[in-house]
Amino acid sequence: MAIAVICEFNPFHNGHKYLINKAKEFVNEPVIAIMSGNFTQRGEVAVTDKFSRAKTALKNGADIVLELPTVYSVANAQLFAECGTYIARSFDCVNYLTFGCETDDITQLMNAADSADNTDVQKIIKNEMKRGGYYPRALENAVRQILGDATADIFTSPNNILAVEYIRGLKKSNVKPLPVKRTEVEHDSFAPSGNFASASYIRELIRGKKSVSAFMPCEIKNVTFPENLERILLYRLRSMSPEDFSRLPDVSEGLENRIFNSVKEYNSVKEITDNIKTKRYTHARIRRILTCALLGITKQMQTAPVEYVRVLGFNNEGAKLLKSCRLNVITSVSEGVKLGGNIKKLLEKDIFATDIAALAYNNIENCKSDFITPIIKI
């Protein structure tokens, strides 16, 4: 049997190591990490490449690392969680999904997951959205009105929100949620505590060429800088029409025109993002939209079923777990592409994302690392 974890490891730090160790302490089973590739759910390029992050994870508790397809790694929380839990459920050996969150009260988390499907809650959300509301906030407000503060408070913390989506994704399956309470520091906090710090703070230190040895099991040698992608993103945005923008995920209700006008008016991604932002469209959502524009990811692509698992690395214990997977197991990208259909479409987007991420390093890296980088074996 095994424990799955849906993750980004951007970068892999002591908090991630704590999560894996704690899960193994609760349930003494190997860990399958389902990890975002070179772009993350924040709508940003990962701080370093997926192979390096996978290797660090394998050296620090994970037994196998699989790639969450890029099309879904840059999706909203619901689709991100749906894809991750689908991959987890495709392994007959997986009986737990672990995740870090602000509360480890499973009853409260389960109540919050059920509340999202409550008919009265949905009515309030629908009305708030008609008035230009922001869905997560509308959900929180609706739950507070119908089910009370205890359940609604779950939706005030970012990792709890993902936890709720994971639990929803596990419904009608035999996989049990295994929450682990976050320790020491809050999500996105810039105040470290002991040997723990948020991934956001660590990324800032890394890109500022400051030591992060206190917060990570190993240093990162090759670092991306999002600003290195700014001009190619601006080029891509300036080449798009309102119709092109309308095909991007999470673009609706005329937002394509707002994006198009902002692109023509401003000369930096920050200015464009700030101008597009409204109460409904947060910075994070806009960043995801712009990243989808950069990578050519459309709404239609985010409906493609995931029919494979792409293996980035494993140890001896992890290799055994692959036998229980009901999806196509991809250990060679070139062979995977030959399978055609949705497998080819999603893999080609992963390959493209890797080649674009290669431009984010100060010393531009070569293309084709998906083809030439061997599977990591620990």
- How much of the chain, in percent, has pLDDT values that exceed 90? 87
The CATH code that applies to domain 2-102+163-181+305-377 is 3.40.50.620
Going by pLDDT thresholds of 50, 70 and 90, the confidence category of residue 234 is very high
**Mean pLDDT across 285-305:** 97
- Angle at which helix 283-295 crosses helix 269-276, to 10 degrees, equals 130
Going by pLDDT thresholds of 50, 70 and 90, the confidence category of residue 215 is very high
Q: Can you read off the two tokens belonging to residue 64?
A: 């196998």
Structure pTM?
0.96
- Angle at which helix 269-276 crosses helix 255-265, to 10 degrees, equals 140
Which of residues 186 and 248 earns the better pLDDT score?
Answer: 248
**Mean pLDDT across 175-199:** 87
CB neighbour class for 211 (10 Å; exposed up to 12, middle 13-18, buried from 19): exposed
Instruction: Tell me the backbone φ, ψ of residue 35, rounded to 5 degrees.
Output: -115, 140
What is the location of CATH 3.40.50.620 in the chain? 2-102+163-181+305-377
Does 182 have pLDDT greater than 90? no
Q: In 10 A of CB 204, how many CB atoms?
A: 15
Q: In what helix (H) or strand (E) does residue 179 lie, and over which residues does it extend?
A: strand 176-181
Q: Which residues have CB under 8 Å from 206's CB, separation 6+?
A: 11, 47, 212, 220, 223
pLDDT, position 35: 98
pLDDT, position 117: 86
Does 334 have pLDDT greater than 90? yes
The mean predicted confidence, pLDDT, of the chain is 95
* Helical H segments across the chain, by residue range: 14-26, 50-59, 70-73, 77-89, 106-115, 119-130, 135-147, 149-152, 158-169, 199-207, 230-238, 242-246, 255-265, 269-276, 283-295, 316-321, 333-337, 341-357, 369-372
Report the alpha-carbon distance of residue 162 to residue 171 in Å, rounded.
Answer: 15
Report the alpha-carbon distance of residue 227 to residue 308 in Å, rounded.
Answer: 33
Does 78 have pLDDT greater than 80? yes
pLDDT, position 224: 98
- The 10s digit of each residue's pLDDT in 147-163 is 999 899 999 888 999 99
